[in-house]
Amino acid sequence: MDFTVSPSGAGRINQLGGLYINGKPLPKETREEIIDLARLGIRPCDISRRLKVTHGCISKLLSKYKKTGSINPGGGSIGRPRVITPRVEETIGQYRREQPGIFSWELRDRLLRENECSRENLPSLSSISRLIKHKIIAADSTACLMSSHDTAQSQNRALILEDNVQSRSDLNGKDLTNDNGRNASLSNKEHFMAHRKRRQRAKYTMHQLNQLEQEFEKNPYPNAWDREGLEQTLGIHETRIQVRDTLEITNTISARVTLENVLLCFD
DNA sequence: CCCGTAACGGTTGAG
DNA sequence: CACTCAACCGTTACG
């Protein structure tokens, strides 16, 4: 292995003198050129030397092209099959525009209910949260800045903000920059985050909490049927009734059947 | 010399 | 938010 250029991630030089980034696919143009040259009848070893891409890579690309007809990396999916497709992403954005304080679990329920997703490709709560955090809120805050300031100035700031969000995820928590302009735009985002609409936490009556406590005494681990029964009698959505082993609800006695909204206020 | 491929260290997106 | 997992990336080295 050649580690002479850079420890990880950055460009490296292969045995032919070609530049590559470990783990990342070759540029689209290079892939296209490989296929074009092969179509012209040029031998893989010659393509390899000409483009300074190793013969192993040429061999892989050409055999994949013969099998699938595709020159794109990924075979349609990288890692686990993608559940947050552009369509799902757009739908979630739409739901949030219609109902700004909507919780992730509600988004998930609605995707299922409205047949946007099936049980097989329904995104997890963590995926939905991540999407909202990294993409939708960034887009919302950009739009917020765009509408509230002078257009030319705010466009600059929005671009910087977008760049900043990207750099932040790219650098994975490393120090961003000393540039004052960039930090100013970040504080705008933080300001937006702090003041964005947040839906009121659901409030439950003592009666509801006491009933739950009693139910728990009878049955510490309510199944779906039990929870549906509680939904009927208490008027609390079944998905909000969960098993919690050690937590306590304020003003009640060691309740272990709890409401996610009571304990986990934000998503 | 050519080429297919296993092994490797890496990236990416989902859970 | 840090971690694991699975599928993929291109290079290297072997046969």
pLDDT for A244 equals 44
In 10 A of CB A41, how many CB atoms?
A: 6
User: What is the reported pTM?
Assistant: 0.47
Question: Does the pLDDT at position A92 exceed 70?
Answer: yes
Torsion of CA A190, A168, A121, A224, to 10 degrees: -50
Q: How far is the CA of A9 from the C1' of C7 (A)?
A: 19
Report which of residues 169-198 in chain A place their beta carbon less than 7 angstroms from any atom of strand C: 173
Question: Does the pLDDT at position A48 exceed 50?
Answer: yes
Query: For chain C, which bases have at least one atom within 7 A of a protein Cβ?
Result: 1-2, 5-13
User: Where residue A58 falls among pLDDT bands split at 50, 70, 90?
Assistant: very high
Top pLDDT among A163 and A231 is at A231
Question: Does the pLDDT at position A70 exceed 70?
Answer: yes
Question: A157-176, pLDDT tens digit by residue?
Answer: 333 333 333 333 333 333 33
Name the nucleotide with the smallest C1'–CA separation from A20. Answer: C10
User: Where residue A216 falls among pLDDT bands split at 50, 70, 90?
Assistant: low
